[in-house]
Amino acid sequence: MIKAILILPFNVLITMPVLILCFSDWVLITPQNRLPFMIMIGLLGLGLTLMAWTIGLFAAVKKGSLAPWNPIDKLITTGPYAYVRNPMLLGVFLVLGGEALLFTSYPLAIYLILFIIINALYFPLSEEKGLEKRFGQEYISYRNNVPRFIPRLSPYKPKRRL
């Protein structure tokens, strides 16, 4: 699990933004810019909360990780997964948005947009097909009822089999 966290979110949220900031102009946001500052705090807080909650669920399953090379063997549809199919990725999007505001950096905002586009293409073309093969009808029902990135208002409750 630690390896997956270091390789995936760490590189996306720390390594790449640091490299982008090293080669671009940026200005740290100040609390005097109240609305952008409050939005930045909200994005970072919500994003980190979603990520921690998701990592906690993966740790509870104990077999597998958030990395595609070490998938879990049980479909998780509780917690944040009851509202959105990719809460970890949504958390990453929110943190990247917070970072773009924190550093008032257009290059970071462009990185966020490109990251969203890449993932919006990757998930339906690759990962979701693999989940459908592994979990069958259970995943198809889940996919048909829970949005990929924009949370639903009420939690998904799978129909119980009799």
The residue behind tokens 């995943």 is: 139
**Domain annotation covers residue 96:** yes
**Domain annotation covers residue 56:** yes
pLDDT value at residue 72: 75
Q: Phi, psi (5° rounding) for residue 152? A: -80, 165
How many domains does the chain divide into?
Answer: 1
CATH of the domain at 60: 1.20.120.1630
**Domain annotation covers residue 94:** yes
Assess contact for 90 and 48: CB atoms under 8 A.
no
pLDDT tens per residue, the chain (162 residues)?
566 666 788 899 999 999 999 999 999 999 999 999 999 999 999 999 999 998 888 878 766 666 666 677 788 899 999 999 999 999 999 999 999 999 999 999 999 999 999 999 999 998 899 899 999 999 999 999 999 999 999 999 987 654
pLDDT value at residue 114: 98
Determine the Cα–Cα distance for residues 6 and 76; give it in Å rounded to an integer: 22
The residue behind tokens 């109240």 is: 34
Rg (Cα) of the chain, in Å, rounded?
Answer: 17
**Domain annotation covers residue 32:** no
Determine the Cα–Cα distance for residues 89 and 127; give it in Å rounded to an integer: 13
pTM assigned to the model? 0.90
What are the strands, taking DSSP E only, across the chain? none
Domain that holds residue 120: 40-156
In the DSSP assignment, the letter for residue 150 is S
pLDDT value at residue 162: 47
